[in-house]
A and B are shown apart, each in its own frame.
Chain A
């Protein structure tokens, strides 16, 4: 087998119709890369401008020509003006409390109660959360989602393994099972659970919970809601939903235009649009978390969930990146910050009040990666 792979790769590489670039071409590309980096540095300003301008002028449902009208957002007041907090260096940042949600580091989980334990299954993983006295763990290649008992014994395995959604109270979780159904489970402290299975055509993942037992799901290139009455309906504008607010009845996701929008699942209206990728909502539904788009964002924004107005922003220096931010509670966000120049990383806590602190010690980013517990 090894010989076959070596031979195939060598042969394919040799016969590939590839054209070399000249130094001048590479220099022109370098100028483009430099320009993109500069543009990224100012993307937050552009994002804020778009949020304000679009919210004020474009509105919502009109983009589909269906006569929907967005609620008029409150005009930003001087006290709502964005305040930018800049991170200097990870090592200079004050050490604060340990994370109030769990996190994985290597093959060890650090639970919210301060205890640690091996990752159930002891294999690489992409996503994890606690549920019904046990764990839900999505494999590193998202090929399987496994449900483990509290002692690490596997109890069920689902493929493909899209990360599960968790309700705000942590008592319910939902995932896609082998048959393409949406399983909505209510867990009990003794490890038992009651599962409701719903048929949803072409579902690829459960995005999150909504009020009254509903869930938002992805798949088929559109955002859909499965409500408590088992009905499936389409959400306006969203082609790829990625976050929900149970408290606020909100769904965020990407639109067909390529920008991002937040939709009210109660009224089926688009509340606001943004160029910032909205990755989650605070547990009380008041704030949304936005990232400047790009593969390696350096700007994190806390937004008013109803209007998209920027409440606070965190700006990272060059050579640092923000990964997988999650709400820790109603007023704080935890994010993995990696300094690629020094090969260092730490979990950083950023508050709606502008507070900034490390939640873990600074570690080498060459060793292991942090994986924060999946939260609503």
Chain B
């Protein structure tokens, strides 16, 4: 087996196990399945290109997560730079009001009001179940920043849900 073939075999084996989780994390970060698939493919491609330099294969999951989050932030930056390139035509007409079938639906909708870093902190903390220190390493920020961003995100979500009438203090005690 030559070197390239060995690399591709090892990468394919790792990718098969890692991709489902990366896809789901990407989806939670961006909220859109097509963007999530694109994001994950780009992250995997970058890992493939760097494969020969990745000596610590035990922490590939952490590295992949970091590439994914950084790529997501880059996408967001590109989008932000171009977000004012708009037309004078009116926005699409809103459809009928969405039916809220519970707090989960409302929370999912409200996640979109968070900034990209706050959302990333929430996803890494509550879905990936990472510690504050691990989130800080993934995002390249201090632990204090993670704590403050997480606190603000939760406060924002509570406020949004309270405004929407789908979250009350009483509910919080019963959950």
Contacts and interface: CB of A to CB of B under 8 A. Distances in A.
Interface of A: 1-14, 16-21, 23, 25-27, 29-30, 32-34, 106, 123-124, 140-141, 204, 218-219, 221, 239-240, 254, 256, 258, 277, 295-296, 365-368
Contacts of B137: 366
Nearest to A27: B48
A221 to B, nearest CB: 4
B49 A30 contact: yes
Nearest to B44: A26
Contacts of A106: 142
Contacts of B87: 221
A254 B85 CA distance: 8
A194 to B, nearest CB: 31
Interface stretch (B18-26, B57-65, B92-100): B18-26
Contact of B8 (A23, A32, A204): A23
Interface of B: 8, 11-12, 15, 19-20, 23-25, 27-28, 33, 36-37, 40-42, 44-46, 48-49, 74-75, 77-78, 81-82, 84-88, 103-104, 107-108, 115, 117-118, 122-123, 126-127, 137, 140, 142, 145, 148-149, 152, 154, 157-158, 167, 172, 175
A365 B157 CA distance: 31
A141 B48 CA distance: 33
B108 A12 contact: yes
Given A124-B145, A221-B87, A240-B85, A1 B49 contact: no
A258 B56 CA distance: 41
A2 B12 CA distance: 36
Given A18-B27, A33-B49, A6 B85 contact: no
Given A13-B127, A141-B115, A124 B148 contact: yes
Give the most central of B33, B36, B84: most A CB within 10 Å. Answer: B84
Contact of A141 (B78, B118, B123): B118
Given A141-B115, A221-B87, A239-B84, A8 B107 contact: yes
Contacts of A1: 154, 157-158, 167, 172, 175
A21 B41 contact: yes
